Structure 1
Amino acid sequence: MAERRNYTDGYWWSNDGLRLHFRDYPGAADQPPLLCLPGLTRNARDYETLATRLAGPRRVLCVEFRGRGESAYAKDPMSYVPLTYLQDVDALLADQGIGRFVAVGTSLGGIVTMLLAATGPERLAGAVLNDVGPELDPVGLARIRTYVGKAVYHPTWMHAARAIAEANGDVYPDYRIEDWLRMAKRLYRVNSSGRIVLDYDMKIAEPFRVPGNEAGPDMWPTIDALRGRPLLVVRGERSDILRAEVADRMVARHGGAEQVTVAGVGHAPTLDEPEAVAGIDRLLAGV
């Protein structure tokens, strides 16, 4: 039997005419909804567990940036940059009539979260920045540039899972084959030829390969914009994107943020880990 879906598919239009997709998990209207923003090569499926756990008391929207999942691919690959993603999310908020929300951003999604705070801090009721900050470690960026945008395919899901395990074993050292299979189902899709392929436009790599395009200008003022609002900084203990000293500076600069370190994990925590679950629950209790 097919698994019962607990969400509906939602769509909206970008300013340049792209039809974009999000998963809409229903919830009570008297709480600010959660807006979940994924990483560079990821999609709405990354937030399945989190959304299922938290929906009901509040609505949860899991966004797919342009060029990912069921969202349309951009005609201009140079639009695959954080400022355009920000404009796309602004269009979603206007389309859905959302004036206040809690943002959960992983990696690239965290950069967009910080930009949302900078351009309209009054609309954020709280924020989770998952393994990302105003400064990105060049070591991790160099690693990401080695694989993003490289088209690969696999004949079976097991082949895909084993390939992910080989590439990411140091990020999730305790994962078992069932965990890698679950990740494969989030990263890949079956194309029209029956091949298992990555579920994003390979051209997202074009602007990312230009140094400085990952985050744009000085991002530290975005932490100032989040002052007075609950902020959770999640960091993987083995992260090569968010250095420990940068996370510490974020917490100190904000003045009221909480930092959670997920032991034994690299970039990026899935937010299903007990430490992250407890931290998110504490943040939402303070919203």
Structure 2
Amino acid sequence: MNRLRQWYAAPAAAGEMRRGSVQCLSSGMLHHMAYTEWGDATNPRVLLCVHGLTRNARDFDPLARALADQYRVICPDVAGRGESDWLRNKADYSVPNYMQHMLVLLAHLGVAQVDWVGTSMGGLIGMSLAALPNAPIRKLVLNDAGAVVSARSLQRIAGYVGLAPDFASLAEAEIYMRDTYAGFGLLTDKQWRFLTEHALRALPEGGWRMLYDPAIGDAMRTSPILFDLNLWHLYDAIRAQTVVLRGAESDLLSHDTAAEMALRGPRAHLVEIPGVGHAPMLMDDIQTAIVRNFLLSR
């Protein structure tokens, strides 16, 4: 009942977060993809912010708030994460399927063109869409995502996705978050608590569990990860203005790959963020300003 009240309450003001959902199709089964929305709902300038593999839309609250004066900001919970439905066919947890969901979302919003901020997996979805002929993406922010994804990072991620224990308390969960996602960098205690609270769901019998379908990680463990994932064929096809944000200590996007991305394809502007690994969380004023300045530049 509380969930229904949240979703069907009176509309929020333009500067506040609102919630919505859209119906998608995967393997012949209908399911809902949830999203948060910020800014003027009539603003034709739309920004899509798409999260990483195990994350959800609430990661973008600070960035969305910082851009709501200029954009209608939409932050989806990709299928199997956050408030979105879990998929019946676990093989549908794939970038090609997510691309279709995003196109359904754009049709639902009634927009033909958007700017895009994608963290990790969200960047790979954006890159895949931006590589298409007549792509709907005008400007593209690739946040620690790029043309080569290292095998080492995929092995690390496969070692924790879907394997988290249940937690007796938020404090216990926060310890896990700080350890597992240490690559986020030096976040404040308040930021870590925010990320922890929105990464969990309360269990009826007490305790907490991660807010994503653990089956998301299964595909990564079905066979050994021996080689880097090479996506240059996608990146080189992109025509959108692009910026690449790289955590200077990232194990997913190497400096050499990021530097080459500045020289070919859309010739992205490269910004490396010190003291951060995988991935910058776009929560502090410096990181949000980098994104804002790029998106609002001509």
Q: TM-score, normalised by structure 2?
A: 0.87
CA displacement at 1:102 relative to structure 2: 0.4
The separation in 2 between residues aligned to 1:20 and 1:217, in whole angstroms, is 27
The separation in 1 between residues aligned to 2:98 and 2:201, in whole angstroms, is 23
Q: Is 2:260 the partner of 1:241?
A: no
Q: Is 2:229 the partner of 1:220?
A: no
Change (3 A) 1:121 1:38: farther
Q: Is 2:101 the partner of 1:88?
A: yes
CA displacement at 1:30 relative to structure 2: 5.0
Equivalent position SS for 2:138: strand
CA displacement at 1:123 relative to structure 2: 1.6
Greater CA drift, 229-238 or 115-124:
115-124
Change (3 A) 1:173 1:234: closer
Task: Count the aligned residue pairs.
Answer: 283
Q: Is 2:154 the partner of 1:141?
A: yes
Equivalent position SS for 2:236: helix
Aligned to 1:230: 241
Greater CA drift, 74-83 or 216-225:
216-225
The separation in 2 between residues aligned to 1:247 and 1:36, in whole angstroms, is 21
Report if the CA contact (8 A) 1:81-1:207 is conserved: no
Q: Is 2:207 the partner of 1:195?
A: yes
Report if the CA contact (8 A) 2:22-2:105 is conserved: yes
Unmatched segments (≥5 aa) in structure 1: none
Match among 46, 59, 64 for residue 59 of structure 2: 46
Output one character per residue of 1:40-90: Cα deviation in whole Å (capped at 9) or x when no partner. Answer: 001011101001111132100001111111110100001001111111111
The separation in 2 between residues aligned to 1:104 and 1:212, in whole angstroms, is 30
Match among 268, 278, 281 for residue 257 of structure 1: 268
CA displacement at 1:217 relative to structure 2: 8.1
Moved over 6 A (4+): none
Aligned to 1:98: 111
Equivalent position SS for 1:94: helix
The separation in 1 between residues aligned to 2:217 and 2:250, in whole angstroms, is 21
Percent of matched pairs sharing the same residue:
31
Amino acid at match of 2:169: T
Unmatched segments (≥5 aa) in structure 2: 1-12
Aligned to 2:5: none
Q: Is 2:121 the partner of 1:108?
A: yes
Equivalent position SS for 2:148: coil
Report if the CA contact (8 A) 1:135-1:246 is conserved: yes
The separation in 2 between residues aligned to 1:218 and 1:272, in whole angstroms, is 29
Amino acid at match of 1:198: M
Amino acid at match of 2:180: A
CA displacement at 1:152 relative to structure 2: 1.6
Equivalent position SS for 2:25: coil
The separation in 1 between residues aligned to 2:45 and 2:75, in whole angstroms, is 14
The separation in 2 between residues aligned to 1:256 and 1:34, in whole angstroms, is 21
The separation in 2 between residues aligned to 1:79 and 1:240, in whole angstroms, is 26
Match among 2, 8, 25 for residue 15 of structure 1: 25
Change (3 A) 1:179 1:281: closer
Report if the CA contact (8 A) 2:249-2:277 is conserved: yes
Q: Is 2:209 the partner of 1:206?
A: no
Output one character per residue of 1:162-192: Cα deviation in whole Å (capped at 9) or x when no partner. Answer: 12223344x2453454332222113222122
Greater CA drift, 135-144 or 203-212:
203-212
Match among 277, 283, 289 for residue 278 of structure 1: 289
Q: TM-score, normalised by structure 1?
A: 0.90
Aligned-residue CA RMSD in angstroms? 2.6
CA displacement at 1:279 relative to structure 2: 2.1
Output one character per residue of 1:136-178: Cα deviation in whole Å (capped at 9) or x when no partner. Answer: 0111111101000114211211111112223344x24534543
Report if the CA contact (8 A) 2:245-2:270 is conserved: yes
Change (3 A) 1:83 1:119: same
Greater CA drift, 126-135 or 20-29:
20-29
Report if the CA contact (8 A) 1:190-1:196 is conserved: yes
Match among 160, 164, 186 for residue 198 of structure 2: 186
Change (3 A) 1:247 1:148: same
